[in-house]
Amino acid sequence: MTTPAPTADGPPPPSALELDRRAYRRRRSQRSVLLAVASTVVFAAIVWLTVIRTPGWAAVQESFFDPRIAIESLPKVWDGFLLNLQVLGLSVITVSVVALTVAVLRTLRGPVFFPLRVLAAGYTDLFRGFPFIIVLYLVGFGIPTVVGERIEPVILAVLAVTLTYSAYVAEVIRAGIEAVHPSQRLAARALGLGHVQTLRHVVLPQALRKMTPPLMNDFISMQKDVGLISILGAVDAIAAARSEVSLTYNFTPYVVAGILFVLLAIPTIRVADWYTAKLQRREQAGSVL
């Protein structure tokens, strides 16, 4: 089949009309830049007058943003942060496995799977409504009491995060599965693929693309929530910051810990934005069904 070949000679030089339009657009964009600069200067002046030039600002700066204390507390807070990262890394793996399993269980048809379907549905309903902090208490303090021996806080933390986040992520996956157009399923079944084969080769790969943005969202809130494991007595970034604060009554270590979490989240946020933009471009490009 022939695809139209690009013509050998390129487009003609722009006409006077086009040159006129380009000049107009250039003038417009120069004007926008000037306006942006002007409004930024005015805004900065207002902030300086109303916030920084006030008597309370020095006190705020001293107790929240003391550079000396920030540098002193950083090594300990960083050590604690590594524990957060460890919990996060392990949880990403366990959440992926559990959530995918729960989501697939909910799509299974047939009477044999009835109890599994009900169990999966009940689990997602329950743990999406349950406050994370209660799960953390029940798992972190309840399980060691029942078992009667000490369990590594990392393991308890991963367990609590997995229980809560798998419920959210399973729902995202299920929504992604349902967002794949039914004609795709029909085409796969018409080729003789079974339910699970269709899911694996046709539906899930397409669903995964659709659910990346919401999954990134859940990943970001998971990054923050691993900070709550300090409740379990694990010395993570926040617990380390707390012990620093209790020594000096200066709150800068909390800000340091907070900034570490923000720095962790930023790449994920950027990747999510980039991927969403890419998807949008591709869909606007046209003929994907």
Q: Which of 134, 115, 112 is nearest to 123 (CA)?
A: 115
Strand, coil or helix: 153: helix
Q: Which of 230, 223, 252 is nearest to 74 (CA)?
A: 252
Should residue 287 be labelled a site residue for other proteins when binding is judged by CB under 8 A?
yes
Residue 111 lies near other proteins (rule: CB under 8 A) = no
- Residue 179 interacts with other proteins (CB under 8 A): yes or no: no
Smallest gap from Cβ 196 to other proteins, in A, equals 10
Only segment of 26-34, 129-137, 189-197, 232-240 that touches other proteins (CB under 8 A):
189-197
Q: Are 224 and 287 in contact (CB under 8 A)?
A: no
Size of the site for other proteins (CB under 8 A): 23
Q: How far is the CB of 286 from other proteins (least distance, A)?
A: 7
Phi, psi dihedrals of residue 72, rounded to the nearest 5°: -65, -40
- As given in the structure block, the two tokens for residue 47 are 């902030």
- Closest to other proteins by CB, 9 vs 283, is 283
Q: Where are the beta strands (DSSP E) in the chain?
A: none
- Pull the structure tokens for residue 253: 């270590």
Does position 187 interact with other proteins (CB under 8 A)? The reply is: yes
Q: Does 289 bind other proteins (CB under 8 A)?
A: yes
User: Is 188 among the residues that bind other proteins (CB under 8 A)?
Assistant: yes
By CB under 8 A, name the one of 109, 112, 190, 267 that touches other proteins. Answer: 190
Chain length of the chain? 289
- Per rule CB under 8 A, is residue 246 in the interface with other proteins? no
Q: At residue 135, what is the residue type?
A: V
Residue 8, interface with other proteins (CB under 8 A)? no
Q: Count of CB atoms within 10 A of residue 78's CB?
A: 14
Task: Give the residues lining the site for other proteins (CB under 8 A).
Answer: 1, 183-184, 186-194, 197, 201-202, 205-206, 209, 285-289
